[in-house]
Structure 1
Amino acid sequence: MPDAGQGAGHTAGTAMAAVDAHGVVVAWGREAERLSGLSATDVIGRCAGRLLADPEVILRAPAFTDRSRRGDGWSGTAGLRRADGSLLDVYLRVCPLTERDGGVRWLVTATEMTTVPSWPMNGAGVQALLTGAPIGIAVRDTDLRCTWVNDALALQDGIPREKRLGRRLTEVLPGPEAESVEAVMRLVLKSGEPLVDHEYRTWMSTNPQQEHSFSTSFFRLDDADGRTLGVCAMSVDVTDRQRARERLAVLSEASTRIGTTLEVMRTGQELADLAVARIADFVAVDLAESVALGEDSLARLGSTNGYVPAFRRAGVASIHAGNPESLWSRGDVVSVPAPSPFTEVLASGESHLEPVVNASRGTWLDRDQGRSDRMRTHAMHSLMIVPIHARGAVLGVAVFFRMGDSVPFEADDLRLAEELVARAALSLDSARRYVREHAAALALQRNLLPGRLDGGVAVEVASHYVPADTQSGVGGDWFDVIPLSGARVALVVGDVVGHGINAAATMGRLRASVHTLANMDLCPDELLAHLDDTISRLDAEDSGTPGRVGAEAGTTCLYAVYDPATRRCTMARAGHPPPVVISPQGRVWVPDLPAGLPLGVGPASFEAVDLELPEGCVIAFYSDGLVETRDQDIDAGIRRLGTVLARPDRPLDELCTAAFDTLPTRALEDDATLLLARTRSLMPSQIATWDLPHDPVVVAHARALATAQLTGWGLEALTATTELIVSELVTNAVRHGAGSITLRLIRHEVLVCEVTDASDSVPRLRHARPTDEGGRGLFLVAQLSSRRGTRHSSTGKTVWAEQEINMPGPLRTLEA
């Protein structure tokens, strides 16, 4: 409780003394000794008037001549006789101290005129000053009963002087705070040591809904003999200062408790959790649904032509368990009534403060029955709505309620809420941007990596990929399974230097290049040579572009082609770890495959190795992130991988999972990729091969052979188109090729027709003019087939065409 009284509190340089009812000095302070040069021994017991040049100045005052005016005291200037006989002009203030027995003593304060303002210090002026002083002063005896008090204290707590005089603080304002203050005063009385800036809080009887904070200083009053006379208390209302401290404390706490993650919904809940009990009794954080999903927000949200954007509850908290005041749970879509303070805040971007909620008929609450019922049930009487905006975009609103006996919101509360929401808004916007960028990165990764692996009739495949950059979920490793002609399949795995979204973008460019080169049906060593040239060119282009760093150089790659017709696998690598092969019996071996240089680092040559594999072998293609760690070299990692995969009878997905389960539990240092392929083979009955002489008359014979084979396979529906394709391809081989001719038909998921000769010339598709007699052969083949192309080998070339076996309906008609 503020224990101050009536009169001005003294500061450093103010001398204090006490005089009894007969004018005899009974107490003499240390500052009085300094000011007069007289010690307490010299003064105590003497008449106070002898210390003044003209004592009549005081004795003529109404306070001493009229008992009814005694409480007014006296103030003015007087000459003080010093020990050396000189006179010192001082400003005196004389105030009455009422004894318990009704007697009177006088408290005298003196200040040098050099420290006193130059304006007139008459009694009326001083009285006006003391009445408006913000410092309350009270003097208490050794029993802690009030003997003197000034008006300022009454202004602070609304307790009149007559109610306080003669009573202890606990008798006037009972409670634990008063008991605490009295304990402090007893300590000061006992020790004699002043206590400065003792802070405490209390509720005033004049304003029971508003808590006040006070800072009070105490010092003991002694007489010349050292006898304790009482204690003086000086009190200041520091409620505003305390509120400022609390605001700073809340904002400081917000910096550590809000935005701990980059999740939009969690950040909204952190804001609600922090604000409850510190600002409000119930808090809800509602974000525009686009923001919660990480999408772009509008520059200003609001009601347009009756439309209000959808909102989602990101955070909710209450002083009551279970948030019974909320109509919606976290994650629910929130209804925003229009028109209402919510839409006004969203449209204007300005906060809404409603100290006492108006729920009368015709208001927005009267039209929102659900909210109205909840507010009435839980006595929600005061409302603040603060927009959440950052970087020019309104993200949503934060809603604050006070309930029950809580005091209504004030302007200071709104300012604190706005500061808190402003800090949270930056975290929310960062989280929104992260969600958007993360979604974009994942979309990039999904589009760059194959969505579904299909090894056709050649291999059964499975894969697993874990990026080192778990934040963005993207990396620079890539793998692919590319169908080739003749039922063959290409298997590729690569590793771009670095990881993250830049490496992923680089990986996308390389994957596209590999697809293009694979469609040319190049041998693995030739393909890597072309890819090396491509990377060198791209790297040179990037190095000349400001803001771009070429990341392709140093890329490693392993490329393999498996033919189920011959069970042969041809592979080459460019600085990439070698594959691991597991036989059907579980024997693990690593092919002796020349390493080659990484791509783009300089002139390099690549060497292919041809392997014959039994059906049912498992080939493991992987990146170094799977087998190389800080504590284990790559050879040990390869042995560990082979041990895990030495059970080829298990499903490939299970083998992938088992391989990654052997990795350390700590975060990966590099992207890790595993591609498993189990080999298959074509049955001899699925392949038909004929060697034909290099003679024009062989064309008809080739058609007859193909027709008979289709009949044997039950593919009579494809006879007409196949005859045309065979006729055109064999005719081209006779006219433009060299050496013997081989015709091969392969029946698997599609029907493949291949014609091989010893020439390395490339047949070209032409668009013949109406007057041309030839040049339409390959055009007809392209129209009749689903895919067509040419591949080269060391012995010549093969021209091939594929047809869908299950092609429904009549054959496509040829365009004239």
Structure 2
Amino acid sequence: MSTPESEADPTAVVVADAEGVVVGWTRAAQQLFGHRAPDVLGHGLGLLLAPDDARSPLRAGPEHCSGQRPEHWPEDWSGQRPEHWPEHWSGLQEIRRRDGSRLLAHVEGARLRTLDGRASWLLTVRPVAGGGRPVLESLMSRTPVGMAIWDLGLRCVWLNDAARRLRVVFPHYEVGRALTDPLPGADTRSAVEAMRRVLADGVPQVDREARWTSPDRHVERTLSTSLFRLEGVDGRPLGVHSVAIDISDSRARDRLALLRAASVRVGSTLDVWKTAQELAELAVPVLADYVTVDLADYVTVDLAEQVLPDTVPLQRLAATATSVPVFRRAGVASIHQGVPESLWPRGQAVFVPPSSPFTAVLASGRAHFEPVLDTSPGTWLDQDPERARVIRATGMHTLIIVPLAARGEVLGIAVFVRTDNREPFTRDDLLLAEELGTRAALSLDNAWRYTRERNAALALQRDLLPRNLTGGGAVDLATRYLPADVHEGVGGDWFDAIPLGGGRVALVVGDVTGHGINAAATMGRLRTAVRTLAYVGLPPDELLAHLDALVVRLAEEDADAGGLPPDLTGATCLYAVYDPATRRCAMAAAGHPPPAIVTPDGAVTFPRPPTGTPIGLGLGDFRPLDLELRPGSLIALYTDGLIETREADIEAGIDRLAAALTAAVTAAPGLDDFCTSVISAMTGDRPPEDDIALLVARTRG
């Protein structure tokens, strides 16, 4: 069972005084570092750092202060002691846990002022990429690509084994060492300039080819280096990620071309099936004619059940006498037409013997390397005669099986086989296959988690949206809801119709800022609050004012429980009440687009109530608008996803909507057909860029 991300990657909060001594320690800090509060309170921050990272800005406190300014610090840091730190700073730092393990973390500091006027510091620490050093090293320890991470001062805070092997020509590959440190025989001025440029403008520098020589001039390497800026969720730079590949020989150049292609072609979409097929096609030379690496003649990508949640559970499938369904084939490619090597097409369950190397790789997370495939009697192939028959018929003679692992979980396997190419796989081929598998696994994991969260948000939103709306005797109703088909996923759009006393009906449409499960959950809370306030009988402007105050109060109460500032979630809303006895419609808006009114003769208007601020800001000053509607008039309430696109603003969208409403009145007299016609005219064949909610009501006399 996987660990929830909130538990695996806690955000630790630590408070240090002006001397760098720990004076505050949270439960999340204990979970992250492994130290209980009595173990660290009163000690310097250096206790929390990796021992070989002695020159970190955090290594402060009486026992660590040297009074000297390290070369690698940013220019606005005037000293090593905490009182000289800027008001706010952030960066990458390798930290040490109580058990001796290390994590690469993002550390952010902010100055605090106590009642006595002394300075102290609030530090937040969160592991990078959901796991820090252990995850990075488990994924990257065997890759032939040298990888390193440098902080804002160009200080190395993490590197893998391949980078360590390059120290012979690039001695700055060492945790704690700054790229600006002068070392004998190492001229890093061009590298420093390139990294600073990447930090400044964020534009990656790819394939910077340079020749490096060891200080004794006995070893020479040609490296292709790429630099990428690392950014936090707020967009601020955290450091630089460097990727170096030894291209001293032609085969290394070919492998570099394949890895470049993998960066572009694998994971081009957030679709698990397509990502798996992209990996299979990349490694087959007939399909991958843009590279010259003859890696494999036949490749399959088989995924575990949890990665493909919409398929029939494998445990429901009956096992054969010798094999059980373990995977589902998600990608396959071959140099031969029709893929004669594959016993199962894409989408089908893959059966394997329990004692096969396929299940062993899935269980252990380690690759299986068989340069000469053993097909003699007495092997696992005795339990799989059909696969043995295909192996002999197609001439399979060498085999690599690599796990597709990400975030500590094996998602499936990739199988590489040669048939026509009579050369057996080498250790270099194994390393290349593992690197391709690592890159593909990260893309698969992103696609899987995105799909899972999106499906959960859609299910939540479907449960929270009303199913059987009624307009009573006041109006006839029709609705439409379209989720956005974009990376951010489902949002918090909603609509509602609430029968009120005296035959009246309230019509509501709203849009919560943001996307995902949180937005859908907030939408459900707001819809419930609106219904509760509507039953009290408040007029539209007073209802929105009470809703605004309620949302702010709930946010403040949540903040009090955690001791953090309130997280104010904004939303727009339009609330209207129609009274069929007087044919009056009163409405008020909180930052929401105006409704559309279509008269029985087809005239379209957009009455604009005084627009107040969005819900949740606590600044609401809402005013109503009162209209008289003819019997048979249409009231169309909608969210901005219907009218706003990247190419056009809201006003242009309102003009398009007016034309669509006019055309729909003539073409589709029924309300359901009317909604379908309007949505089709506004979106065309493309998926919507944002969620769309549409509520149409036809007034009765």
Q: TM-score, normalised by structure 2?
A: 0.55
The answer as to whether partners of 1:616 and 1:680 remain within 8 angstroms in 2 is: yes
Residue 258 (structure 1) aligns with: 266
Residue 561 (structure 1) aligns with: 577
Number of residue pairs matched by the alignment: 435
Aligned-pair CA distance for 1:315: 0.8
Residue 328 (structure 2) aligns with: 312
Compared CA separation, residues 346 and 606, structure 1 to 2 (3 A):
closer
Alpha-carbon displacement from aligned partner over 1:416-436 (angstroms, at most 9, x marks no partner): 322322222222222222222
In structure 1, what residue type is equivalent to 2:389? Answer: D
Q: Secondary structure at the match of 1:335?
A: strand
1:652-663 aligned at under 5 Å gives the runs 652-661=671-680, 663=682
> Partners of 1:589 and 1:485 in 2: how far apart?
28
1:146-225 aligned at under 5 Å gives the runs none
1:656-695 aligned at under 5 Å gives the runs 656-661=675-680, 663=682, 672-680=692-700
* 1:550 maps onto 2:558 in alignment: no
* 1:385 maps onto 2:401 in alignment: yes
Aligned-pair CA distance for 1:504: 4.2
Compared CA separation, residues 399 and 638, structure 1 to 2 (3 A):
closer
Q: Secondary structure at the match of 1:472?
A: coil
Question: Percent identical across equivalent pairs?
Answer: 59
Alpha-carbon displacement from aligned partner over 1:443-478 (angstroms, at most 9, x marks no partner): 343334334544355433233445667223322432
Residue 284 (structure 2) aligns with: 276
The answer as to whether partners of 2:568 and 2:616 remain within 8 angstroms in 1 is: no
> Partners of 1:288 and 1:603 in 2: how far apart?
51
> Partners of 2:690 and 2:341 in 1: how far apart?
49
1:761-772 aligned at under 5 Å gives the runs none
1:168-567 aligned at under 5 Å gives the runs 241-277=249-285, 278-293=294-309, 310-404=326-420, 406-465=422-481, 470-485=486-501, 488-497=504-513, 503-541=519-557, 550-553=567-570, 555-563=571-579, 567=583
In structure 2, what residue type is equivalent to 1:258? Answer: V
Q: Secondary structure at the match of 2:303?
A: strand
> Partners of 2:447 and 2:641 in 1: how far apart?
30
Aligned-pair CA distance for 1:316: 0.5
The answer as to whether partners of 1:617 and 1:648 remain within 8 angstroms in 2 is: no
Aligned-pair CA distance for 1:516: 1.9
The answer as to whether partners of 1:615 and 1:679 remain within 8 angstroms in 2 is: yes
Question: Whose Rg is larger?
Answer: 1
> Partners of 1:405 and 1:499 in 2: how far apart?
49
> Partners of 1:603 and 1:428 in 2: how far apart?
44
The answer as to whether partners of 2:552 and 2:568 remain within 8 angstroms in 1 is: no
Aligned-pair CA distance for 1:344: 2.1
The answer as to whether partners of 2:301 and 2:414 remain within 8 angstroms in 1 is: yes
Aligned-pair CA distance for 1:327: 0.9
Residue 588 (structure 1) aligns with: 604
Please tell me the root mean square deviation across aligned C-alpha atoms, in Å: 3.8
Aligned-pair CA distance for 1:608: 4.4
Compared CA separation, residues 424 and 547, structure 1 to 2 (3 A):
farther
Aligned-pair CA distance for 1:596: 4.6
Alpha-carbon displacement from aligned partner over 1:217-271 (angstroms, at most 9, x marks no partner): xxxxxxxxxxxxxxxxxxxxxx995444443443333222222222222111111
* Structure 2 gap segments, 5+ residues each: 1-246, 286-293, 314-318
In structure 2, what residue type is equivalent to 1:440? Answer: A
Alpha-carbon displacement from aligned partner over 1:155-184 (angstroms, at most 9, x marks no partner): xxxxxxxxxxxxxxxxxxxxxxxxxxxxxx
> Partners of 2:381 and 2:330 in 1: how far apart?
23
The answer as to whether partners of 2:372 and 2:424 remain within 8 angstroms in 1 is: yes
The answer as to whether partners of 2:333 and 2:339 remain within 8 angstroms in 1 is: yes
> Partners of 1:388 and 1:577 in 2: how far apart?
47
Alpha-carbon displacement from aligned partner over 1:341-400 (angstroms, at most 9, x marks no partner): 222222232222333333344432232232122222212222222222222211111112
> Partners of 1:660 and 1:525 in 2: how far apart?
29
Compared CA separation, residues 548 and 401, structure 1 to 2 (3 A):
farther
Compared CA separation, residues 628 and 342, structure 1 to 2 (3 A):
closer
Q: Secondary structure at the match of 1:519?
A: helix
> Partners of 2:421 and 2:656 in 1: how far apart?
68
The answer as to whether partners of 2:399 and 2:417 remain within 8 angstroms in 1 is: yes
Compared CA separation, residues 413 and 505, structure 1 to 2 (3 A):
same
> Partners of 1:339 and 1:376 in 2: how far apart?
20
Q: Secondary structure at the match of 1:256?
A: helix
> Partners of 2:428 and 2:614 in 1: how far apart?
66
> Partners of 1:636 and 1:259 in 2: how far apart?
35
Compared CA separation, residues 639 and 620, structure 1 to 2 (3 A):
same
The answer as to whether partners of 2:280 and 2:331 remain within 8 angstroms in 1 is: yes
The answer as to whether partners of 2:303 and 2:329 remain within 8 angstroms in 1 is: yes
Compared CA separation, residues 541 and 364, structure 1 to 2 (3 A):
same
Q: Secondary structure at the match of 1:339?
A: coil
The answer as to whether partners of 1:467 and 1:499 remain within 8 angstroms in 2 is: no
1:108-127 aligned at under 5 Å gives the runs none
In structure 1, what residue type is equivalent to 2:260? Answer: S
> Partners of 1:331 and 1:505 in 2: how far apart?
34
The answer as to whether partners of 1:618 and 1:648 remain within 8 angstroms in 2 is: no
> Partners of 2:280 and 2:660 in 1: how far apart?
49
Residue 46 (structure 2) aligns with: none
* Structure 1 gap segments, 5+ residues each: 1-238, 298-302, 682-816
1:741-760 aligned at under 5 Å gives the runs none
Alpha-carbon displacement from aligned partner over 1:179-213 (angstroms, at most 9, x marks no partner): xxxxxxxxxxxxxxxxxxxxxxxxxxxxxxxxxxx
Aligned-pair CA distance for 1:679: 2.5
> Partners of 1:408 and 1:636 in 2: how far apart?
63
Which of 597-606 and 284-293 deviates more?
A: 597-606
In structure 2, what residue type is equivalent to 1:254? Answer: A
Residue 19 (structure 1) aligns with: none
Q: Secondary structure at the match of 1:397?
A: strand
Alpha-carbon displacement from aligned partner over 1:490-536 (angstroms, at most 9, x marks no partner): 21012345566654444333222112222334333332232132133
Aligned-pair CA distance for 1:290: 0.8
In structure 2, what residue type is equivalent to 1:423? Answer: R
Compared CA separation, residues 590 and 663, structure 1 to 2 (3 A):
closer
